[in-house]
A and B are shown apart, each in its own frame.
Chain A
Amino acid sequence: AQKITQTQPGMFVQEKEAVTLDCTYDTSDPSYGLFWYKQPSSGEMIFLIYQGSYDQQNATEGRYSLNFQKARKSANLVISASQLGDSAMYFCAMREDTGPWDNYGQNFVFGPGTRLSVLP
């Protein structure tokens, strides 16, 4: 079963508008972390934002915010005031805090990604 689902293969947004990228996840572990990464055409995966399963407040980092709805198991990324440089693939990822001690919480699972195109 898919642990991370990103239902939007591609999204378009007008420059300076806000956009929400969807992410739902599946886990039975009470302790986990959720991450968003940006991958421009150059290939590098750039860490954007993190949300812990026990965090009470939604994470924010500059123009990025994470809309965390734990009961619905969703962790949507909101980008405010889109810029042309935001055009990229965006990946949602989850780290479950289970497993043997020697790799505790190290295994990330990535979603299939959403390609965001910002229009001038």
Chain B
Amino acid sequence: ETGVTQTPRHLVMGMTNKKSLKCEQHLGHNAMYWYKQSAKKPLELMFVYNFKEQTENNSVPSRFSPECPNSSHLFLHLHTLQPEDSALYLCASSQDLPGVKTQYFGPGTRLLVL
């Protein structure tokens, strides 16, 4: 059983829709991440939250809006997406202490924008 869960697992939405992706980690970590994985492209880091504060935003378009209400939950709010936003969105978490900082991933949400 994974320590990081994501819902929904699959999502189809039109370009005018508003939807949210949810991530929850049960590992007691204090850092959470959103990644985008498109076909034939390396995994792209989108956002980093450390102790609920956003510390990284890798030039992500404003149609993606993250929210981290606490260290266990992370959301990605989606609105007016484009077809090229279709991808696998992965959430990860890690413990922000000196040392390994392995990131543990959820199963991902497969998003299709029509």
| Chain A residues proximal to chain B, CB less than 8 Å | 4, 33, 35, 37, 42-47, 50, 52, 91, 93, 95, 100, 102-103, 105-113
Find A110's partner among B2, B43, B94, B107 (CB 8 Å cutoff): B43
Closest residue on chain A to residue B88 by CB atoms: A43
Find B50's partner among A47, A50, A103, A112 (CB 8 Å cutoff): A103
Q: State how many angstroms separate the Cβ of A21 from the closest Cβ of chain B.
A: 15
A42 near B45 with CB under 8 A, answer: no
Q: Does B21 count as interface, using CB distance less than 8 angstroms?
A: no
Give every chain A residue within 8 A of B105 (Cβ-Cβ): 37, 44-47
A and B contact pairs by CB, cutoff 8 A, 11 listed:
A35-B103, A45-B105, A46-B105, A47-B103, A103-B50, A103-B55, A103-B56, A105-B101, A106-B33, A106-B56, A106-B94
A50 CA / B48 CA spacing, docked (Å): 21
| Chain B residues proximal to chain A, CB less than 8 Å | 2, 31, 33, 41-43, 45, 48, 50, 53, 55-56, 88, 90, 92, 94, 96, 100-108, 110
Give every chain A residue within 8 A of B94 (Cβ-Cβ): 106
Closest residue on chain A to residue B100 by CB atoms: A50
A42 CA / B42 CA spacing, docked (Å): 17
Give every chain B residue within 8 A of A95 (Cβ-Cβ): 101
A95 CA / B42 CA spacing, docked (Å): 15
Closest residue on chain B to residue A4 by CB atoms: B42
